[in-house]
Amino acid sequence: MKFLRRYGLLAIPLVWLGITLAMIDPGSLELRTDVPRGVSALFYDPTDIGAFVLRGANHSMGRQPGRIKEPPWTEPEELAEQLDAPALPYAAEYYLEYPSPTLMLFGLAFPTRCEMPPAVADCHHYGVAHFKPRTEAESNLWSQFHHAAIIHVALMTAALIGLMVVLRRGYEPGQPAGPIWLAVLPACLYFSLNRFDIVPALATALGFACLARDRRGWSGAFFAFAALVKLYPVIFAPIILRYLGPRRGARWLVGFTIACAICLGYYWATLGWEPLVRPVQVQLARTAANDSWTIYGRLLPEALGTPEYSKVRLGMLAALILLLVLFQPKDLTSVLRRCLIVLSVFVSMATFWSPQWVICFLPLVIPLAARHRWLIWIALILDLANYVQFPIIYLLLWNQIPLGSKGVLLEGLVWTHLAAWCIFAAAMAWRELRPHPPTPMV
């Protein structure tokens, strides 16, 4: 009974995994046709998984990433026409919009080489995700994609359970844990299995746990891995180093540097320099469009969300980090508060909306919610807002809601996200500025 009380919530991701696997159409990546779309789309999204599978399959073939421009949007019907036409040569490079070390994750789904015709290998992932095979050769290929999708969602489920275990144990030994049930709210479950952001979130939590136990080298290595897979954890490094100080921070920095050097050195040696840096350039080259649901055109000038002003945005973020490290954090709680501030500002300033950001907050919000219980309500609202906006509105009701009502509803959800991030940042800043003696995190 004690085990069930402590770890019973771990069964929820397994149940969600079982439902998700039941929603995938056998032999393809699409949703099953014999299950109402209104049910299946609430658990499974083939589109992003199609991107991960396609990147992993290209990696298994030994092809080079580095294509800057995304392939043109491809409907399944267009892909069928390309497959029926004479085969064109492979592109010189395939498109990879994620940091190159993510190929470690995507490659796990392809233990052997996956042979693809050029029409598939260089296709937009939407066409691959929603294509229904017609021939035996296509069935064999999409069956490999299907198995890769199963491996992906299973690995992401394991990562979510791992995160919950770390947070349940708590960062500091002997201290009560925060409300880990926040990790099994609908959006957290949905985006954990259908994306890969749960992996850097787990690495971030392990980094904080090692930091609290004075295993500074391992802490630096875990943060390095998190930043290599998803860039945002690197913004926590200055705060952690300021907390540790020059002497104690040296070991953390050595662990971080060695892990980065090993991983980046491997990909530099095997892929080359340009494939290593181009995915980062793709991220920086994104523009905030009118319908991108960001603060540009709302709170900030729309022009500030263009690639030409990327250095300005990075400078603003760097200025905030510099402000946060003017005074040394007194304890781990203070470190987590400041990391929550900079993460909230970072996602607010992004030039695109990613609903999976809700995952990034878990390693910070859940431990802090043990001290600041009101954080639970903000996290709950943020999770439900993301789940309503995607998948409910975006995937299921997009063509059913009148244009005017849809605009009002979506605009309200956009401001809900912004309000939640602003409350996170403002409240944590107020707590840091308010004079109070250092206290252990609980």
Two tokens at 253? 């920095």
Token pair listed for 194: 């259908």
How confident is residue 442, by pLDDT bands cut at 50, 70 and 90? Answer: very low
Tokens linked to 100: 């190159």
Percentage of the chain lying above the pLDDT 70 cut: 96
Please check the confidence at residue 6 and state whether its pLDDT lies above 80: no
| Alpha-helix residue ranges (DSSP H) falling in 91-169 | 103-107, 118-121, 125-129, 136-169
Note the pLDDT tens digit of each residue in 360-371.
Answer: 999 999 999 999
Top pLDDT among 121 and 177 is at 121
Q: Name the residue among 120, 115, 114, 74 with its Cα closest to residue 94.
A: 120
Q: Indicate whether 440 pLDDT > 70.
A: no
- CA dihedral defined by 153, 45, 74, 296, rounded to 10 degrees? -110
- Report the pLDDT value the prediction gives residue 289, as an integer from 0 to 100: 66
287 pLDDT above the threshold of 50: yes
The predicted-structure confidence for 87-118, as pLDDT tens digits, reads as follows: 999 999 999 999 999 999 999 999 999 999 99
User: For the purposes of burial, counting CB atoms within 10 Å of the CB of 371, is it exposed (0-12), middle (13-18) or buried (19 or more)?
Assistant: middle
pLDDT in tens, 248-272: 999 999 999 999 999 999 999 999 8
Q: What is the pLDDT of residue 439?
A: 44
Rounded Cα–Cα distance for residues 32 and 51 (Å): 19
CA dist., res. 258 & res. 334, Å (int): 27
Q: Mean pLDDT lowest for which of 40-49, 269-278, 412-421?
A: 269-278
Over 70: is that where the pLDDT of 436 sits?
A: no
Instruction: Return the SS3 of 95.
Output: strand
Instruction: State the average pLDDT for the chain.
Output: 93
Least confident of 117-131, 220-234, 238-252, 299-313: 299-313
Altogether, the residues listed in the chain come to a count of: 442
How much is the average pLDDT of 173-189?
91
What is the amino acid identity at position 368?
L
Q: What is the pLDDT of residue 76?
A: 97
Distance CA 388, CA 304 (A): 28
Task: Identify the bridge partners of residue 296 per DSSP, sorted by sequence position.
Answer: 300
Structure tokens at 285: 């080259």
pLDDT confidence of 438, banded at 50, 70, 90?
Answer: very low
110-158 residue pLDDT tens: 999 999 999 999 999 999 999 999 999 999 999 999 999 999 999 999 9
DSSP states of 315-382: HHHHHHHHHHTSS---SHHHHHHHHHHHHHHHHHT-SS--TTHHHHTHHHHHHHHTT-TTHHHHHHHH
